[in-house]
Amino acid sequence: MELIEVRQAGPVGTIVLNNGRKHNALSHALVTALIGALQAFRDSDVRVVILRAQPGVKVWSAGHDVSELPEGRRDPLGWDDPLRNLVRTLETHPAPVIAMIEGSVWGGAVETILACDIVIATPESTFAVIPARLGVPYNLSGLMTFMSAGSVRIVKELAFTATPISAERAERVGMINHVVPLAELETFTHQMAATIAANSPLSISVMKEQLRVLAGAKPVSPRGFEKVQGLRRVVYDSHDYAEGIRAFKDKRPPKYLGR
């Protein structure tokens, strides 16, 4: 069974997450397939991409594949982590990517859809930022992705509570673009895709890159970066990080000690 399905109708490309057994967890294999599909679209005349899961899913994606996270003493979200590569690929893909959501979205999958250009979700969709639940030290560019989609106050609430928020709340705070009833979701999304595809792909791809450069233009001094990396190392070297990963695998609540 393929981890994703890929199809193209004229200038609109569609990628369907297809690993329901693992709730479309963003494993190295799934991310590699996603990046390959985007590269193929880049080499073709696709002018807009729709990223979705199979119709009727309860979970759009359960986030990073926890079984592939290190159990300690190694950065779980280093530069070459599959999730980091996927986010960068989405952000630099020349055509707009529309994330079409039904079901719940977890952890790194929330960052993935926020790295897309437009997010359209059903009213039943939910979004949960999970690092604190697992004891994971999120990385700097990942937090920038969240900050570009919501105020720092909203990001703090999502990150500190690790509690799902509704599509309605996410839209109200500007994290997602539209909330559309399930029965209208596909039509609404494809109509927006067709509108985009009828506009100038060159103008759009340059504006997308300009907005990426501007959104990422936050001064971080080398000293500031090194301080952040040192703080993250304290977390991924901690008892709590190893406990979070172990507890998930043991299917039990974690016992955090704050060290």
- Chain residues binding ligand YXS by CB under 6 A are 22-23, 25, 59, 62-67, 106-108, 130-131, 134, 136, 138
Choose, from 63, 108, 135, 150, the residue flagged as catalytic.
108
156, amino acid identity: K
The least distance separating ligand YXS from the CB of residue 174, rounded to whole angstroms, comes to 21
Q: For ligand YXS, give the closer residue by CB, 48 or 114.
A: 114
Catalytic annotation on 20? no
Q: How far is the CB of 101 from ligand YXS (least distance, A)?
A: 14
> Among 13, 138, 190, 244, which one carries the catalytic annotation?
138
Q: How far is the CB of 249 from ligand YXS (least distance, A)?
A: 8
Helix pair 28-42, 82-92: axis angle to 10 deg = 20
Spot the catalytic one: 23, 64, 93, 190. 64
Nearer to ligand YXS, 62 or 149 (CB): 62
Q: How far is the CB of 63 from ligand YXS (least distance, A)?
A: 3
Which residue's CB is nearer to ligand YXS, number 81 or number 91?
A: 81
Q: How far is the CB of 80 from ligand YXS (least distance, A)?
A: 15
Q: Which is nearer to ligand YXS, 106 or 127 (CB)?
A: 106
Strands (E), the chain: 4-9, 12-17, 48-53, 59-61, 97-101, 104-106, 118-121, 126-128, 165-166, 178-179
DSSP 66: G
Q: Is 93 a catalytic residue?
A: no
> Does the CA dihedral 61-216-49-76 come out positive or negative?
negative
Q: Is-catalytic flag, 236?
A: no
**Angle made by CA atoms 42, 113, 100, in degrees to the nearest 5:** 85
When the beta carbons of 96 and 137 are compared against ligand YXS, the nearer one is 137
97-101/48-53 β-pairing: parallel
Q: Report the DSSP beta bridge partners of residue 178.
A: 120
Which residue number places its CB atom closest to ligand YXS?
107
Q: Which two tokens stand for residue 136?
A: 């994971």
Q: Contact 12/47 with Cβ under 8 angstroms?
A: yes
In the three-class reduction of DSSP (H, G, I as helix; E, B as strand; rest coil), residue 225 is classed as: helix
**Would you name the residues annotated as active-site residues?**
64, 108, 138
